[in-house]
Structure 1
Amino acid sequence: MPEKQKIVIGVDLDGVCADFYGRMREIAAEWFEKPLHELPEEVSFGLKEWGVNNKSQYESLHRFAVTQRSLFSSMEMVPGARKYLRQLSDEGFRIRIITHRLFIHYFHASAVQQTVEWLDNHGIPYWDLCFMKEKEQVGADIYIEDSPDNVLQLRQNDLFTICFANSTNRHIENPRASSWEELYKMVMNLYPFLRSQSVT
């Protein structure tokens, strides 16, 4: 694919490529000193089902998870993420990883190092790695996101966003994908339109 025709796919990490909720559930069970089975697998955004009642409590848990349990380098990969991102990359799409992992102060170095280690260890292809909250400023042609607030924000800015489905975003409307295979097919179906828009 010629450079000027490359389609940029903005890909979120947590909940899309990395199993954030699966690993965080294990850490939360330890943090709250509860048996793992007492923490439901399906949660809403904010993790109130696990006993996280406010922002301060979430930040304390999150800080412990990253600094003491290497959260960002110890998560399992979401099935299909590597396979289908590699296919998209091989087919000429530009993969731009976008994550808001620096939202809690004072341990940014650990968060960045763990993120790069995880991406490299799992063989995730990417051209760019962006740590930022305002994902609409990144300049992607397609966004893949699971956070309900982020999906709505991107769509309000008229940016095409596929919601990667999980229990936190059931209220978000289509387009949605419940697996990487489904997501890959959606992107390929969009390609002819996106390519026509990118040719100048």
Structure 2
Amino acid sequence: MDESSFILGVDLDGVVGDFYGAMREIAAEWLDRPLESLKKEVSFGLHEWGIDEYGGYDRLHRFAVTQRDLFRVMKPIKDAPATLRKLSVRGIRIRIITHRLFLKYFHKTSITQTVEWLDAHDIPYWDLCFMKDKGAVGAHVYIDDSPSNVERLREQGCRTIVFSNSTNLQLPGPRADTWQDVERLVMEAYDEWRTGTLNLFGASSFPR
């Protein structure tokens, strides 16, 4: 398989891994509050949990990764690993693109936990990219849950699927509520690519 393959750009947190579920459990401990007191439906930044008066999101994130192995212990989102295996077997190149290195001084920890988690759940990938500008690495179709990432990718002309959660309900589709939806949307794009008709939201036909 080479760069002429169909490439699926996959975000991890909130798409493949249950980031918000894991963070909710860690935040309950960090805040010394009952788990049920923390809302499941949150916005980007987790302000609903009242973390700002305790140092804010960056401080909670640092604790979660360095002291509670966040990227190693979070559970996969239902059907994500199995669906990625199916897509990989069909010849789709999985390119993991994540912005997990946005905080300084513990990059090695974040990278190590990420690789171990992917291997532990047998999640196939050909490329693993840690970067903010996801459009810079290239993919035929992206899937992401972050509102800012989705908007930026679409502004760049990238065909992007929104993976639904409470942080992104305001975004227009195409949208996947489950990994069965992801599989269907990706295979539709893959079939278009194979026939040379894959378009990027009204742009000219995507080169094969």
Is the alpha carbon distance of 1:14 and 1:55 closer, same or farther for their aligned partners in structure 2, counting shifts above 3 Å?
farther
Who is 1:94 aligned against? 93
Partner secondary structure for residue 112 of structure 2: helix
Who is 2:132 aligned against? 133
Check whether the contact 1:10–1:141 (CA below 8 A) recurs between aligned residues.
yes
* TM-score, length-scaled by structure 1: 0.95
Q: Write the letter of the residue equivalent to 2:13.
A: D
C-alpha RMSD of the superposition: 1.5
Partner secondary structure for residue 97 of structure 1: strand
Establish whether residue 116 from structure 1 lines up as the match of residue 115 from structure 2: yes
Deviation at 1:193, TM superposition (A): 1.9
Check whether the contact 1:40–1:50 (CA below 8 A) recurs between aligned residues.
yes
Distance 1:53 1:3 in 2: 46
Aligned residue-pair number: 198
Percent identical: 55
Deviation at 1:4, TM superposition (A): 5.9
Check whether the contact 2:71–2:117 (CA below 8 A) recurs between aligned residues.
yes
Partner secondary structure for residue 122 of structure 2: coil
* TM-score, length-scaled by structure 2: 0.92
Establish whether residue 41 from structure 1 lines up as the match of residue 36 from structure 2: no
Distance 1:16 1:94 in 2: 17
Distance 2:54 2:159 in 1: 30
Establish whether residue 160 from structure 1 lines up as the match of residue 177 from structure 2: no
Distance 2:18 2:174 in 1: 21
Please list the CA deviations of residues 86-128 of structure 1 after superposition, one character each: whole Å capped at 9, or x if unmatched. Answer: 1110000000000000000000010000000000000000000
Partner secondary structure for residue 193 of structure 2: helix
Is the alpha carbon distance of 1:54 and 1:132 closer, same or farther for their aligned partners in structure 2, counting shifts above 3 Å?
farther
**Which of the two has greater helix per residue?**
1
Who is 1:103 aligned against? 102
Please list the CA deviations of residues 30-65 of structure 1 after superposition, one character each: whole Å capped at 9, or x if unmatched. Answer: 011100000011100010111123895111100000
Check whether the contact 2:101–2:130 (CA below 8 A) recurs between aligned residues.
yes
Check whether the contact 1:46–1:52 (CA below 8 A) recurs between aligned residues.
no
Deviation at 1:190, TM superposition (A): 1.6
Is the alpha carbon distance of 1:41 and 1:30 closer, same or farther for their aligned partners in structure 2, counting shifts above 3 Å?
same
Partner secondary structure for residue 10 of structure 1: strand
Please list the CA deviations of residues 132-158 of structure 1 after superposition, one character each: whole Å capped at 9, or x if unmatched. Answer: 001010111100000000000000000
Who is 1:30 aligned against? 29
Who is 2:150 aligned against? 151
User: Please, which runs of 5 or more residues in structure 2 have no aligned partner?
Assistant: 197-205
Who is 2:141 aligned against? 142
Distance 1:98 1:87 in 2: 19
Q: Write the letter of the residue equivalent to 1:36.
A: L
